[in-house]
């Protein structure tokens, strides 16, 4: 029996995953969480943690790091919409044992759960091809960190540094809160920043907001 812990902030997705997984006699879902904090506080001992990378209180590889620290014996299988090879690599570096896109077939998910439960790594085949191509690309000319951000990412960075919430930024930019969260995650990864305070300092140093 493989015990599974679901970490996903969308209730409908979580419920669907539970139903899908528990159709198999060797799977048992032992808990659910919608945030990193809930996952850390949960009283469970899973074999496999199926986790999204974009949560209300955590983004990208930092989600995996927190889960690995709290559940060192569990194997983390990422189930995400993020398909950027750099993000995938960072996630494995943080301790994930598998990576799967949400568009994957149900059979791929069950195969991935079984493989990571056995101690094997799993990378969705289509991602494996993308990763191989990415690694073969010639190095790009050096650019400063701020130049790596898109215009929209710079705008999000500035608004975060000015103290606006994700919801407020979403309203001002006419996008969803989830889009803002995704852009914020990408900004932090590109700039190698960890906290909101880091973002504020960086924006000021880059001249996006007044210092002090």
CATH 1.10.10.10 positions along the chain are 145-205
CATH 3.40.50.2300 positions along the chain are 2-136
Q: Please, what is the Cα angle at 79 between 78 and 84, to 5 degrees? A: 80
Q: What is the DSSP letter of 56?
A: T
User: What pLDDT was estimated at residue 8?
Assistant: 95
User: What pLDDT was estimated at residue 140?
Assistant: 47
Please list the ranges in the chain whose pLDDT falls under 70. 130, 134-145, 210-212
> Considering the entire predicted model, what is its pTM?
0.65
Q: Domain 145-205 classified CATH 3.30.70.360? A: no
Query: Which are the contacts of 43, defined by CB distance < 8 A and separation ≥ 6?
Result: none
What is the rounded CA–CA span in Å between residue 166 and residue 159? 9
User: What pLDDT was estimated at residue 5?
Assistant: 98
Which of 112, 97, 201, 202 lies closest to 149 in space, CA to CA? 202
pLDDT in tens, 135-186: 665 554 444 667 778 888 889 998 988 888 888 899 999 889 888 988 888 8
User: What pLDDT was estimated at residue 107?
Assistant: 92
Q: Domain 2-136 classified CATH 3.40.50.10420? A: no
């Amino acid at each position: 029996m493989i015990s599974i812990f679901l970490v996903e902030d969308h209730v409908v997705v979580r419920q669907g995953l539970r139903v899908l997984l528990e159709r198999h006699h060797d799977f048992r879902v032992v808990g659910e969480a919608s945030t990193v904090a809930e996952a850390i506080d949960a009283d469970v001992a899973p074999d496999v943690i199926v986790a999204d990378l974009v949560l209300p209180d955590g983004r990208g590889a930092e989600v995996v790091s927190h889960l690995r620290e709290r559940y060192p014996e569990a194997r983390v299988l990422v189930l995400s919409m993020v398909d950027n090879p750099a993000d995938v690599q960072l996630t494995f570096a943080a301790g994930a044992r598998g990576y799967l896109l949400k568009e994957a077939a149900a059979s791929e998910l069950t195969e991935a759960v079984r493989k990571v439960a056995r101690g094997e790594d799993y990378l969705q085949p289509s991602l494996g091809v993308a990763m191989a191509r990415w690694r073969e690309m010639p190095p790009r000319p050096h650019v400063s960190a701020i130049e790596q951000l898109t215009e929209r990412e710079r705008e999000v960075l500035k608004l975060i540094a000015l103290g606006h919430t994700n919801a407020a930024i979403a309203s001002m930019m006419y996008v969803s809160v989830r889009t803002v969260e995704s852009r914020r995650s990408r900004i932090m990864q590109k700039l190698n920043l960890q906290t909101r305070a880091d973002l504020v300092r960086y924006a000021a140093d880059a001249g996006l907001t007044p210092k002090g």
